[in-house]
């Protein structure tokens, strides 16, 4: 067997190939049928007469027709133009095709089985709860949405057959199936590329070559299937699994075109590619970035490579991505919006008249172009226009967004129900933008604000200008090329110093920007993740590094050494991939550049584009799964190189091929063995438990204010899918800085009545009251002001509250930080807002002091809600956040279960975080709450759950016990503390610094044995982790500080309890304290 390359083609400017056949009327028929079916489906969804479109027509028949209509064009794309003719296929090729299909399917099925075995049975943290809820009722998630993902997901939810508790499993299975499909396409892509590396005769591959090709596909596909990042997305309902499926399908389609480029039917593969790209827009935009590599593949196949040609091909590929992103996705709706405004405002057409005219004009121009290209024989123009039609048809899934938003569902982010708000939704305008190639740095001060484009809103049959965008203008001396150090957020400014030697007030140099790009954005936020997948991972701790083969567990703290997330791959996947890379480069250099560009654009190019800040709420490795896919191609091709090497020592090709395959299979086997325990989510319910526990903490008809993804999205799932506690109104505090969300708060949602307010919506709309600075007025600065009086002045836009900005805008301000609110004492005691035991803590006026120099829209909404609500509906916060502290409301918070209730009674103990309602909190913690699998040492909990949610549970147990002790209820305190240690043992969820707060109540409750056991466990843990983290990079400063804080808490608890360990603990603390100072 020879591994030499196929003889090269004669050099020529362009390699001739038969012109692709034009798309005939017969081929167009399935496309037209698909368009019609999609249109009927969307019409049914838009005309469902049931409330919020939740009927069979809107949630079942319509989505089914849309998905069916999007499938039909494939029949047209692959419809043969000419009568089917039998092509002679040799037995060897027949055998290869048969085995290629069967083994590829088997590999995909094996991946699916593993994914199903490790599938999460319900929702998980982050975006999955939002996506499951949005798919189940076809609601509108965060921009830019994923309508095709949701439409297909809705069909999978139907397989639950009415059992709402099974909806999440089917959505997770949807991701598993998509991921298995990705593995299948990767297998076929590797065998296609492998054929180009082997000298295969016209008769077909020999037995040895057959085994090598199949072995390479198996090893590469399974290696990717069990990589850390891809496996993570494969077992939860996220868009990244389906996004990877489309990426894999697009790459395979391009390789199929390459393999049949000289065939008259080859053009259909390019049409298929275009349609897949169009469909993928409705899933995630990450799929588009593979296009430059695929354009290069076409160039290499059609032309003699040259430096100029390669650069031109790459430019065309990048322009193609830009054309789709700016010209199709946001460009066409923007042009349609301009048509709409012009024809409605200037010509007098009714709403949507301009959109209809635009669609008619676009259709007419497309039809004319197709007819012109056919009549004149412009083959490339015809194929380009057909491709455009297919891209637009795939993109049509986005019609779901304004249709469903028009029903005002409970989840309706940005409310994109009309064309103009839909364009803003597509452009992700609520997230702002980051400078990429040139822009300001963190020390830049805006010199002024430039009035930008007008913002229109439908009013009185017209589109009126209701506001303008404003862009900050910076001095050129404060700008730089490649601005990486751009964020002026305080938390980011501190974090910059971990990575670059830059100080606040100091202008960063260009070199410091490059240093941050290299050290953080490239190394920490990409190559570290790459190492996780192909070298090894240290632990689940955020910021954890790569586990190299020479690292042992000797100097690693036990809690990290025993972590299920500690995976050691001994460099084997990396080495096999590098071997495949060099083998492909040596034997088929043009192909290696295609894969290399795919690797670059789906990895490092994303890093450059995202320009990530130095602090992220979670690890972002899933973003770069496309580049791990590309590297896995090289892992597969590495099998061919191993086979060629072994052939030198073995008697036959078959022996070499079998030996190479068996040896290389150790790579995916190792990935599977190491990764199974940390990816096995089959018994994981903690996200759902935490959601239901939080909802169960609040009183009926409560208003619950949450802070972010993990205390919001699981709650959305529980309410919208399982129908749990739909009387509770969940409000996301960051969203309250937007007018659309405040408008939604004033609506009925499920069983929750509209929220009251004294200010009209006009006070919140657009940029109204986005920012209210503190401008003291001597007449009320010290004496204070009644909140209702302030709101009435604000409602009138009273001149006494208004100030002028430097650029001429008028802003409302607040003249005093001292506010008060009248309290009906009898009412709050009668309706249970204040418990009888706190009667003496209620006064006629609730008075507090604001702790901020400026109010944001969300702060104003909360103050307005407090005034209008008049304590009729309970108001809760999911945890102590910046809003309660900035508004000065901390003294009025009362712990009930897992939530903090706002009550008009001041906490008599200023040293505690909140007053504890002992009765309600004990009932919640001990009777209502679920702690599924927290006693199971084999359960791999998420780092976010173990380090944030469980510590909050333990802290609340400790505070409840302390509250019992303060009133002499020792037995109740003992019951609470023993339950805490039993329900959440260290073997399930390891104790961290928060658990140190349990030591003092344990000792005071007469449980010295338990207190000393916890001291011994925690002191050893803190000591070991401090020694370990002192040797780690600077970005682990938080872990160092938290462990030191935990050790300090132990010292104080031991001293206060009179425990003999106090002196030894103090010495240990001082040793580490001095060590950190040095």
pLDDT digits (tens, 9 = 90+) for 979-1002: 999 999 999 999 999 999 999 999
pLDDT band at 587 (very low <50, low <70, confident <90, very high): confident
Tokens of 471: 């862009």
Instruction: Give the mean model confidence (pLDDT) for residues 791-811.
Output: 87
Q: Do 689 and 615 share a structural domain?
A: no
pLDDT value for 527: 97
Closest CA to 273 of 79, 73, 27, 16: 73
pLDDT band at 942 (very low <50, low <70, confident <90, very high): confident
Out of 845-849, 909-913, 924-928, least confident range: 909-913
Cis peptide before 407 (omega within 30 of 0): no
Bridge partner residues of 915 (DSSP): 894
Instruction: Map tokens 């066409």 to a residue.
Output: 332
534 domain residue, yes or no: no
491 domain residue, yes or no: no
**Residue 846 three-state SS:** strand
Closest CA to 103 of 202, 197, 186, 204: 186
Instruction: Map tokens 């405002």 to a residue.
Output: 345
- Examine the fold and report which residue of 918, 947, 965 is the final residue of a domain before the chain moves on: 918
Q: How far apart are CA 74 and CA 33, in angstroms?
A: 11
Higher pLDDT, 180 or 783: 180
Q: What percent of the chain has pLDDT over 90?
A: 76
Question: How is residue 901 annotated by DSSP?
Answer: E
Q: What angle do CA 946, 951, 952 make, to 5 degrees?
A: 120
959 and 894 Cβ atoms separated by less than 8 Å? no
Q: Do 947 and 999 share a structural domain?
A: yes
Q: How far apart are CA 212 and CA 198, in angstroms?
A: 10
Q: Do 1017 and 868 share a structural domain?
A: no
Instruction: Give the mean model confidence (pLDDT) for residues 790-808.
Output: 87
Q: Do 796 and 869 share a structural domain?
A: yes
Out of 77-91, 773-787, 1030-1044, least confident range: 77-91
Out of 85-89, 203-207, 284-288, least confident range: 85-89
Q: How far apart are CA 74 and CA 88, in angstroms?
A: 26
Count of CA atoms in the C-beta half-sphere (13 A) of 1056: 15
pLDDT value for 86: 54
601 and 292 Cβ atoms separated by less than 8 Å? yes
Tokens of 425: 């939704």
514-535 pLDDT, tens digit per residue, is 999 999 999 999 999 999 999 9
b vs e for 274-300, b when ≥16 Cβ sit within 10 Å of the residue's Cβ? bbbbbbbbbbbebbbbbbbbbbbbbbb
Instruction: Give the mean model confidence (pLDDT) for residues 630-644.
Output: 97
550 domain residue, yes or no: no
- Examine the fold and report which residue of 634, 656, 679 is the final residue of a domain before the chain moves on: 679
pLDDT band at 432 (very low <50, low <70, confident <90, very high): confident
Cα dihedral 29, 31, 32, 35 in deg (nearest 10): 160
290 domain residue, yes or no: yes
Q: Do 187 and 215 share a structural domain?
A: yes
1038 and 1032 Cβ atoms separated by less than 8 Å? no
Count of CA atoms in the C-beta half-sphere (13 A) of 820: 13
What distance, in Å, lies between the first and last C-alpha atoms of the chain?
64
**Residue 920 three-state SS:** helix
Is 60 exceeded by the pLDDT of residue 1052? yes
Please give the tally of structural domains in the chain. Answer: 3
Q: How far apart are CA 692 and CA 931, in angstroms?
A: 11
- Examine the fold and report which residue of 857, 886, 918 is the final residue of a domain before the chain moves on: 918
Question: How is residue 841 annotated by DSSP?
Answer: G
Q: What percent of the chain has pLDDT over 70?
A: 97
435 domain residue, yes or no: no
Closest CA to 904 of 816, 814, 839, 998: 839
Average pLDDT, the chain: 92
Is 60 exceeded by the pLDDT of residue 861? yes
pLDDT value for 694: 96
Closest CA to 530 of 625, 666, 639: 625
890 domain residue, yes or no: yes
Q: Do 1006 and 960 share a structural domain?
A: yes
Relative to beta strand 802-804, strand 854-856 is: unpaired
280 and 287 Cβ atoms separated by less than 8 Å? yes
pLDDT band at 1034 (very low <50, low <70, confident <90, very high): confident
- Do you know the residue count of the chain? 1078
Handedness of CA 392, 394, 396, 401 (dihedral sign): negative
Count of CA atoms in the C-beta half-sphere (13 A) of 294: 25
Q: Do 699 and 673 share a structural domain?
A: no
Domain membership of residue 670 as a residue range: 25-81+90-407+570-679
- Non-local (6+) Cβ contacts of 16 within 8 A are none
Out of 9-23, 30-44, 429-443, 627-641, least confident range: 9-23
343 domain residue, yes or no: yes
Is 50 exceeded by the pLDDT of residue 332? yes
Q: What angle do CA 726, 731, 735 make, to 5 degrees?
A: 140
891 and 907 Cβ atoms separated by less than 8 Å? yes
1040 and 1026 Cβ atoms separated by less than 8 Å? yes
Closest CA to 828 of 790, 875, 860: 875
544-573 pLDDT, tens digit per residue, is 999 999 988 888 999 899 999 999 999 999
Relative to beta strand 810-812, strand 802-804 is: antiparallel
Closest CA to 995 of 962, 950, 964, 1027: 950
**Residue 219 three-state SS:** helix
Cα dihedral 3, 4, 6, 11 in deg (nearest 10): 150
Closest CA to 863 of 919, 896, 817: 817
Tokens of 731: 């409000």
Specify the pTM. 0.94
Q: How far apart are CA 969 and CA 849, in angstroms?
A: 34
Out of 67-76, 288-297, 449-458, least confident range: 449-458
Q: Do 643 and 601 share a structural domain?
A: yes
Q: Do 161 and 279 share a structural domain?
A: yes
Q: Do 844 and 961 share a structural domain?
A: no
Q: How far apart are CA 878 and CA 704, in angstroms?
A: 7
Question: How is residue 284 annotated by DSSP?
Answer: -
Q: Do 57 and 72 share a structural domain?
A: yes
pLDDT value for 12: 36
939 domain residue, yes or no: yes
Is 60 exceeded by the pLDDT of residue 362? yes
Q: Do 190 and 41 share a structural domain?
A: yes
Is 90 exceeded by the pLDDT of residue 808? no
592 and 584 Cβ atoms separated by less than 8 Å? yes
pLDDT band at 910 (very low <50, low <70, confident <90, very high): confident
pLDDT value for 377: 84
128-176 pLDDT, tens digit per residue, is 999 999 999 999 999 999 999 999 999 999 999 999 999 999 999 999 9
Instruction: Map tokens 């007098």 to a residue.
Output: 348
Count of CA atoms in the C-beta half-sphere (13 A) of 439: 15
Instruction: Give the mean model confidence (pLDDT) for residues 255-261.
Output: 93
The values of phi and psi at residue 407, to 5°, are -85, -5
Instruction: Give the mean model confidence (pLDDT) for residues 945-954.
Output: 91
**Residue 764 three-state SS:** coil
Q: What is the CA radius of gyration of the chain?
A: 32
Higher pLDDT, 469 or 48: 48
pLDDT value for 494: 87
């Amino acid at each position: 067997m020879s591994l030499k390359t196929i003889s090269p083609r004669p050099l020529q400017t362009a390699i001739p190939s038969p012109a692709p056949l034009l798309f005939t009327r017969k081929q167009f028929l399935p496309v037209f049928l698909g368009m019609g079916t999609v249109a009927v489906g969307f019409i049914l969804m838009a005309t469902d007469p049931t409330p919020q479109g939740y009927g069979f027509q809107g949630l079942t028949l319509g989505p089914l027709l849309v998905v069916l209509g999007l499938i039909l064009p494939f029949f047209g794309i692959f419809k043969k133009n000419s009568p089917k003719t039998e092509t002679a296929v040799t037995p060897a090729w027949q055998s290869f095709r048969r085995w290629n299909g069967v083994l590829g399917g088997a590999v995909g099925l094996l991946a699916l089985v593993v994914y199903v075995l490790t599938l999460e049975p319900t929702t998980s943290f982050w975006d999955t709860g939002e996506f499951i809820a949005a798919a189940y009722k076809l609601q509108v998630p965060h921009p830019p949405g994923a309508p095709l993902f949701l439409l297909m997901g809705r069909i999978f939810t139907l397989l639950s057959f009415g059992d709402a508790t099974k909806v999440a499993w089917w959505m997770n299975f949807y991701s598993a199936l998509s991921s298995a499909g990705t593995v299948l396409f990767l297998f076929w892509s590797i065998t296609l590329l492998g054929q180009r590396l082997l000298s295969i005769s016209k008769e077909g591959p020999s037995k040895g070559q057959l085994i090598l090709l199949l072995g390479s596909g198996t090893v590469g596909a399974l290696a990717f299937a069990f990589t850390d990042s891809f496996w993570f997305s494969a077992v939860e309902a996220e868009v990244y699994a389906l996004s990877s499926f489309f990426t894999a399908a697009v790459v395979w389609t391009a390789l199929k075109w390459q393999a049949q480029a000289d065939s008259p039917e080859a053009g259909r593969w390019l049409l298929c590619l275009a349609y897949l790209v169009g469909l993928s827009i409705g899933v995630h935009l990450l799929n588009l970035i593979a296009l430059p590599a695929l354009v290069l593949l076409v160039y290499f196949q059609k032309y003699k490579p040259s430096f100029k040609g390669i650069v031109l091909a790459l430019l065309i590929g990048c322009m193609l991505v830009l054309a789709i992103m700016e010209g199709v996705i946001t460009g066409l709706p923007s042009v349609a919006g301009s048509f709409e405004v012009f024809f409605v405002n200037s010509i007098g057409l009714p709403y949507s008249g301009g959109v209809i005219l635009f669609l008619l004009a676009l259709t007419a121009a497309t039809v004319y172009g197709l007819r012109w290209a056919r009549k004149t024989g412009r083959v490339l123009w015809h194929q380009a226009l057909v491709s455009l039609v297919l891209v637009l048809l795939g993109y049509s899934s986005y019609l779901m967004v304004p249709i469903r938003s028009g029903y005002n569902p409970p989840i309706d982010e940005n409310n994109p129900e009309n064309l103009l708000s839909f364009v803003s939704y597509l452009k992700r305008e609520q997230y702002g933008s980051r400078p990429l190639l040139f822009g300001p740095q963190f020390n830049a001060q805006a010199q002024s604000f430039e009035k930008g484009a007008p913002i229109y809103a439908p009013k009185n049959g017209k589109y009126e200008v209701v506001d303008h965008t404003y862009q900050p203008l910076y001095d050129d001396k404060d700008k730089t090329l490649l601005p990486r150090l751009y964020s002026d957020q305080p938390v980011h400014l501190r974090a910059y110093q971990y990575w670059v030697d830059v100080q606040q007030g100091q202008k960063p140099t260009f070199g410091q920007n490059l240093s941050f790009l290299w050290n953080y954005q490239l190394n920490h936020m990409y190559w570290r993740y790459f190492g996780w997948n192909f070298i090894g991972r240290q632990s689940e701790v955020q910021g954890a590094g790569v586990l190299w083969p020479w690292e042992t567990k000797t100097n690693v703290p036990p809690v990290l050494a025993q972590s299920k997330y500690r995976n050691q791959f001994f460099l084997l996947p990396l080495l096999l991939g590098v071997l495949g890379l060099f083998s492909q480069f040596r034997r088929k250099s043009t192909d290696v550049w295609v894969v290399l560009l795919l690797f670059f654009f789906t990895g490092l190019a994303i890093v450059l584009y995202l320009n990530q800040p130095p602090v992220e709420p979670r690890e972002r490795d899933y973003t770069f799964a496309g580049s791990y896919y590309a590297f896995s191609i090289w892992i597969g091709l590495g099998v061919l190189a191993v086979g060629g090497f072994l052939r030198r020592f073995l008697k036959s090709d078959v022996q070499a091929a079998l030996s190479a395959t068996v040896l290389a299979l150790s790579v995916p086997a190792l990935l599977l063995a190491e990764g199974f325990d940390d990816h096995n989510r089959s018994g994981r319910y903690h996200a759902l438990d935490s959601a239901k526990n939080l909802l169960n903490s609040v009183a009926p008809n409560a208003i619950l204010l949450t802070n972010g993804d993990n205390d919001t999205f699981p709650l959305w799932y529980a309410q919208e899918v399982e129908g749990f506690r739909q009387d509770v109104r969940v409000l996301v505090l960051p969203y309250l800085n937007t007018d659309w969300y405040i408008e939604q708060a004033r609506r009925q949602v499920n069983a929750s009545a509209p929220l009251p307010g004294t200010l009209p919506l006009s006070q919140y709309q657009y940029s109204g009251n986005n920012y209210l600075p503190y401008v003291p007025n001597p007449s009320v600065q010290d004496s204070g002001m009644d909140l209702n009086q302030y709101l009435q002045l604000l409602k009138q836009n009273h001149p006494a509250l208004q100030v002028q900005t430097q650029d001429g805008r008028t802003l409302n301000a607040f003249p005093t930080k001292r506010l008060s609110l009248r309290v009906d004492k009898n009412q709050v005691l009668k309706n249970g807002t204040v418990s009888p035991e706190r009667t003496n803590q209620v006064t006629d006026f609730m008075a507090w002091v604001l702790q901020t120099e400026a109010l944001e829209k969300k702060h104003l909404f909360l103050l307005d809600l407090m005034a209008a609500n008049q304590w009729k509906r309970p108001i809760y916060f999911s945890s102590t956040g910046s809003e309660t502290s900035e508004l000065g409301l901390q003294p009025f918070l009362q712990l009930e279960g897992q939530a903090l209730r706002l009550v008009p009674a001041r906490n008599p103990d200023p040293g505690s975080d909140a007053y504890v309602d002992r009765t309600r909190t004990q009932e919640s913690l001990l009777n209502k709450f679920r702690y599924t699998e927290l006693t199971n040492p084999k359960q791999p909990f998420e780092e976010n759950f173990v380090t944030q949610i469980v510590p909050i549970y333990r802290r609340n147990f400790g505070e409840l016990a302390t509250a019992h002790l303060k009133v002499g209820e020792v037995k109740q305190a003992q019951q609470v503390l023993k339950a805490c240690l039993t329900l959440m043992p260290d073997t399930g969820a390891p104790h961290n610094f928060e658990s140190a707060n349990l030591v003092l109540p344990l000792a005071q409750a007469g449980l010295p044995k338990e207190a000393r056991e916890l001291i011994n466990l925690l002191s050893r843990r803190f000591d070991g982790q401090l020694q370990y983290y002192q040797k780690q990079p600077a970005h682990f400063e938080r872990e160092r500080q938290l462990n030191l804080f935990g050790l300090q808490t132990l010292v104080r608890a031991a001293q206060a309890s009179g425990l003999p360990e106090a002196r030894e603990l103090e010495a240990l603390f001082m040793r580490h304290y001095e060590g950190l100072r040095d």
